[in-house]
Amino acid sequence: MGPDTDEQWRRWIAPLLAILAADEADHRAWADHHGVGAAALADDAEFAARLAEGLADRGVLPPQDVPDLHAVARLCRALDGVDAPTAEAVRAEARILARSILTARTGTWHHPLPRRVLPQRAHG
């Protein structure tokens, strides 16, 4: 894998998966601390799934990861506006998929949670 494609994985996909793979309490604490709601995670997951398509097309990401990343995005989108028990069940399903992808790619699902970079600082 080349440096550009590895950078795309490390910068966009792996951090999102780390958040989603985290234990429920860690996930909630991270989201609360950074003010990240379900809609923002869904947007990030949809972006990661589209990015994964391009990486798979170039042969740098296993094609079987793409449907899983799209499933993660759908689950994240389903979190918006649901009751707490439903949200917990949906997050559990997303967590399983995120852990599976991370473990297949890196050998472990447990990764440090990222420091959130505000959009105005990411490009300025």
Which pLDDT tens digit goes with each residue over 104-123?
Answer: 989 999 999 998 754 434 43
Q: Is residue 119 situated within a structural domain?
A: no
The pTM of the full predicted model, rounded to 2 decimals, is 0.84
Query: Looking at per-residue confidence, does 4 or 66 come out higher?
Result: 66
Determine the Cα–Cα distance for residues 6 and 12; give it in Å rounded to an integer: 10
Q: Which token pair is 64? A: 């079987």
**Per-residue pLDDT tens digits for 46-101:** 999 999 998 899 888 889 889 999 999 999 999 888 898 998 999 999 999 999 99
pLDDT at 117: 54
Determine the Cα–Cα distance for residues 90 and 79; give it in Å rounded to an integer: 7
> CB–CB of 34/116 below 8 Å?
yes
pLDDT at 5: 57
Q: Which token pair is 123? A: 């490009």
Residues 6+ apart with CB under 8 A from 69: 13, 45, 48, 49, 52, 101
Number of structural domains, the chain? 1
Q: Is residue 124 situated within a structural domain?
A: no
**Per-residue pLDDT tens digits for 6-49:** 777 888 899 999 999 999 999 989 999 998 888 899 999 999 99
Q: Is residue 62 situated within a structural domain?
A: yes
Exposed/middle/buried for residue 95 (C-beta within 10 Å: 0-12, 13-18, 19+): buried
Domain that holds residue 106: 3-112
Q: Is residue 72 situated within a structural domain?
A: yes
The type of residue at 23 is: D
pLDDT at 59: 84
Q: Is residue 121 situated within a structural domain?
A: no
